[in-house]
Structure 1
Amino acid sequence: MSEDTIKSSEERLKILFEYAPDGYYLTDLRGIFLDGNRAAEEMVGYKKEELVGKNFAKTKLLSTKQIPKAAALLARNALGQPTGPDEFILTRKDGSKTMVSIRTFPVRIDGKTVVLGIAHDITEYKRTQDELKRSYERMQKVLEDTINALTSAVEKRDPYTAGHQHRVAVLADAIAERMRLPENQKEGLHVASLVHDIGKINVPAGILNKPSGLSEPEFALVKDHVLVGYDILRTIEFPWPVAEIVLQHHERLDGSGYPSGIKDGEIMLEAKILGVADVVESMLAHRPYRPARGMEVAVKEITKNKKKLYDTKVVNACLKVLRDKQFSF
């Protein structure tokens, strides 16, 4: 390769280094700055001449707490290992802060090993992340308030089932945990459990609190609560299929459930779990038309009808939860 070719290649590399959009810098293995490009200067507010020859630990770029972290990365470079991406907060010359993601690479220049660092400004990215997090937290708060309001509305109409939805949610959560459902599925099930009886707001209080058995027309009206609940919940943009879970929680594997009479393969897993949790909690609780039936009866109900009405895996998980001495509503 001719001397002119080598010189031309070096000039091209110098241009690429100088005008790269990220901050490029060179240090020796002791952490002394050797060079930097324009983007690096803009990133920290110093001219490279102000930093060349200085050890990074002696500058004000890094806080005292960050220096050991940077020194550890430099030690890895000395062993020939690249590092990163690693996040740092740089203090600019004017005192303002810049968040960067840094990668480092040990390279050979003129027979010596030096460190090439590439710093990418992530300040805006982090700010956007923080804003999104705050927005998500606000959305979660609104969602929780909405759920609490819906739950309260039902319980005021039907004092005998006060706390029922919460207790069903506790049991459904425990079953889902036993079955190792993905987090997103568990979250959707939890919300659906908390509002699964919202449709009862459309049922007259006299029917909900009736101390004797219901007539066929009255029971038909009660069964409509899943449809009413579905109509209410589908208007809310939940990030989970809450309305569909609520709609299906009285469906049964053999098609004997309501409102649609769908069978095993058509019923969502979350609805199967909610259905079992609802049955168990209802049997353990007092109702205006009957006393609490007790744990033994509840266990017998889901065990006897496993595979027929209730999903086998769901029932088995529920039984394990109920036998766990640490579990309580």
Structure 2
Amino acid sequence: MKIDHQVDAPPQCVSDQLREAEAAGYHGVWLLEAAHDPFLSVGLGAQVTSRVEIGTGIAVAFARSPMTLAITANDLRLVSQGRFLLGLGSQIKPHITRRFSMPWSHPAARMREYVLAVRAIWNSWHDGTPLQFEGEFYRHTLMTPMFDPGPNPYGNPPILLAGVGESMTGVAGEVADGFICHGFTTERYLREVTLPTLGQGRRRAGRSMEGYEIAGMPFVVTGTTAEEFAAAKQSTKEQIAFYASTPAYRPVLERHGWGELQSQLNVMSKAGRWKEMADVIDDEVLEAIAVVAEPDDAAAEIRRRYGDVFTRMNLYLKAPLPAEALESIVAALR
């Protein structure tokens, strides 16, 4: 299993953080799209590293056209000398329509077509064949020599698609090179829903799971003191409550018979009762979603749950952990 690191930092800090991650021996670094552009950060990080893989974890697909994304990803594959990984996600409707002012409909079907459109654009550059992609949501039928960068010597970036529900997960199995598991999941949901659905998607594409990446991001609650442990537990409950209030993540809760928890948290979120929401997450829910363990036991519990599921992983820590303790966990996972 590859052990990765996630970075959410302003552009002026990214280079130093990626240097440090490479020096620490991480296999990959994922750049989050939140308050900053992940593609800019990938480009900056690529200039100061030479070994570590660098990916978007995730970039919001529907905020961009397939052509815009295809060009950016192709350039980043070049400047990273083949180390760039394209991680994509759909986001949810309010962000796409109200934050990005972009269209939203049939997200799984749209994402399937989106990825196929990006691949068609890349293929036109690689093979020199006319660009002729016409779908329900996207249409790309013009590519002149001035805008054709030609074949990429490093090949096309692998596409890893994020998802939770069965529809998007099936699309990821069918058209992507890998799947990015959301932190809001459980071992049971992964084994009973995610893995079988990915397998179905792969079979639709006439492919097996061999060589297919599954990137995990499990919540980890730990600490070297009682105070650190309590802070990690509280902040993780707050984050879980935030995710659990979103209808898109309800299937994870329903798998455990906790569907009504989503309804309750959704009402609370609309009333702005964010701090109170964490109190609704009891220890049973917390321990199903997060690995809750002392630092010396955390790596073993992570491996027990996910060692045969994830091909690569980065830890989702909601509270700071002393560097020595974190390094010890990471070293035990390698």
Q: TM-score range by the shorter chain?
A: under 0.3
Larger radius of gyration: 1
